């Protein structure tokens, strides 16, 4: 600095700080040779504290208000300096303004997935992120432990260390909670509050205070989410056979407009129904496997019998067995059931083959 700078700073007798950055936690007030006039005005605004440092040691801390720097307002510093020049000479001291407002929207998140064991899915890897707010609780402690002699200390310089602390405690708490992965979304608030209380003792040595912690999202790995979406889709579809028939019915009008017309639609409908019939038993839930309506009871197979040119029945399998033993029904007897295209000899129907297993064929003509 030149001579004019020296004179200009001596004329300044108001010590104050107006923060325009919104992210500065500590600011050192610059004075020429760190000389402050006796009787100078100190203005400490709301959400600020002023810390006086003399010869490397914290001497006084001022809360919001306007002060005239005299022996009455600087008892500790007055004792340290002695004021041997008649209480009117400039004294040397460093003034640090500390921002005590709430610093919001600080990000935290897991760099790597958290490994834990889930009761439903087994071993899982989870990612999580959110935000938190903090505030300077002890200005002197912050300068002593973190800011030091830094002329300007910002939130960004400490958030990386705080993020690591939060993630470490979050992984520990999440593992101990034993909350199923699918129920985590219902416990975001509780997790955030619990983590904030758990981690507060570790922030205090830095002179900081965690005001609130928000868990915004806990996500599964993409491959697990894909399988989960497929499982959800199956649950939404419900009755696969009914769904297939509904889709096929909706496709008939479109198929009629295309080459091949309803013939192609009929083929597709037949294939869809056949596939649904084969897949439905495999996809049916096992007894007691979960909630839902039980499957319908199986219907007994019934056949009509042609005897003496007259239609009789329908008979179930047990009645047909009695008819065979009585000799009223044999392999040549015509039978029919729902779904058969025409009357067929009983011996040619696979379902009835077992009825004639112990019955000899008719004797050949003499």
Specify the CATH number for the domain of residue 152: 3.30.479.30
Position 7 confidence tier, pLDDT thresholds 50, 70, 90: very low
Same-domain check for residues 15 and 78: yes
Same-domain check for residues 203 and 118: yes
Angle formed at CA 144 by CA 139 and CA 149, multiple of 5 degrees: 100
Quote the DSSP letter at residue 55: T
Same-domain check for residues 19 and 90: yes
Same-domain check for residues 209 and 320: no
**Tokens read off for 281:** 């038993």
Structural domain contains residue 335: yes
- Position 86 scores a pLDDT of 46
Average pLDDT over residues 121-149: 88
Same-domain check for residues 58 and 94: yes
- CATH number of the domain within which 313 lies: 3.30.1490
Q: No. of H helices and E strands in the chain?
A: 9, 18
Q: What is the mean pLDDT of the chain?
A: 78
What's the pLDDT tens digit per position in 236-248?
A: 666 666 667 666 7
- Position 308 scores a pLDDT of 82
Average pLDDT over residues 218-222: 83
> For residue 24, is pLDDT > 80?
yes
Structural domain contains residue 289: no
Same-domain check for residues 38 and 86: yes
Same-domain check for residues 53 and 15: yes
Structural domain contains residue 123: yes
Same-domain check for residues 165 and 144: yes
The last residue of a domain, from among 78, 99, 120: 99
Q: Bigger pLDDT: 106 or 69?
A: 106
Structural domain contains residue 245: no
Same-domain check for residues 161 and 183: yes
Strand runs (DSSP E) across 110-167, as ranges?
114-118, 122-136, 152-154
The last residue of a domain, from among 40, 74, 99: 99
As a whole number of angstroms, the distance between CA 304 and CA 362 comes to 22
Number of other CB atoms surrounding residue 175 within 10 Å = 13
Q: Bigger pLDDT: 131 or 93?
A: 131
> For residue 121, is pLDDT > 50?
yes
- Position 262 scores a pLDDT of 47
Range(s) of the domain holding residue 202? 103-222
Structural domain contains residue 181: yes
Same-domain check for residues 90 and 23: yes
Same-domain check for residues 178 and 110: yes
The last residue of a domain, from among 66, 99, 132: 99
What's the pLDDT tens digit per position in 315-360?
A: 888 888 888 888 888 888 999 998 888 999 988 888 888 888 766 6
> For residue 252, is pLDDT > 80?
no
Total of domains in the chain: 3
Overall pTM > 0.75: no
Same-domain check for residues 81 and 177: no
Average pLDDT over residues 134-162: 88
Angle formed at CA 338 by CA 333 and CA 340, multiple of 5 degrees: 65
């Amino acid at each position: 600095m030149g001579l004019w700078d020296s004179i200009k700073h001596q004329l300044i007798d108001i010590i104050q700080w107006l923060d325009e950055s919104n992210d500065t936690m500590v600011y050192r007030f610059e004075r020429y040779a760190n000389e402050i006039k006796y009787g100078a005005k100190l203005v400490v605004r709301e959400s600020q504290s002023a810390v006086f440092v003399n010869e490397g040691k914290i001497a006084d801390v001022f809360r919001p208000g306007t002060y005239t720097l005299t022996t009455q307002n600087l008892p500790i510093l007055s004792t340290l300096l002695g004021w041997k020049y008649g209480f009117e000479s400039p004294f040397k001291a460093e003034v640090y303004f500390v921002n005590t407002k709430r610093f919001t929207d600080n990000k935290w998140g897991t760099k790597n997935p958290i490994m834990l064991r889930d009761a439903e899915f087994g071993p899982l890897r989870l990612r999580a992120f959110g935000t938190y707010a903090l505030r300077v609780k002890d200005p002197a402690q912050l300068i002593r432990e973190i800011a030091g002699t830094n002329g300007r200390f910002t939130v960004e310089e400490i958030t990386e260390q705080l993020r690591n602390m939060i993630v470490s405690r979050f992984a520990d708490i999440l593992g101990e909670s034993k909350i199923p992965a699918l129920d985590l979304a219902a416990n975001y608030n509780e997790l955030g509050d619990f983590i904030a209380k758990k981690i507060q003792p570790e922030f205090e040595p830095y002179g900081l205070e965690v005001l609130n912690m928000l868990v915004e999202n806990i996500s599964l790995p993409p491959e697990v989410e894909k399988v989960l979406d497929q499982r959800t889709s199956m649950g939404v579809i419900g009755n696969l056979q009914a769904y297939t028939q509904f889709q096929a019915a909706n496709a008939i009008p479109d198929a009629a407009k295309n080459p091949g017309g309803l013939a192609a639609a009929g083929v597709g409908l037949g294939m869809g129904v056949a596939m649904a019939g084969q897949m439905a038993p495999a996809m049916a839930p096992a007894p007691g496997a979960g909630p839902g309506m039980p499957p319908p009871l199986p219907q007994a197979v019934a056949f009509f019998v042609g005897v003496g040119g007259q239609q009789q029945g329908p008979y179930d399998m047990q009645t047909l067995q009695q008819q065979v033993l009585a000799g009223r029904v044999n392999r040549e007897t015509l039978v029919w059931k729902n779904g058969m295209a025409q009357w067929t000899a009983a011996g040619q129907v696979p379902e009835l083959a077992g009825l004639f297993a112990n019955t000899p064929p008719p004797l050949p003509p003499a």
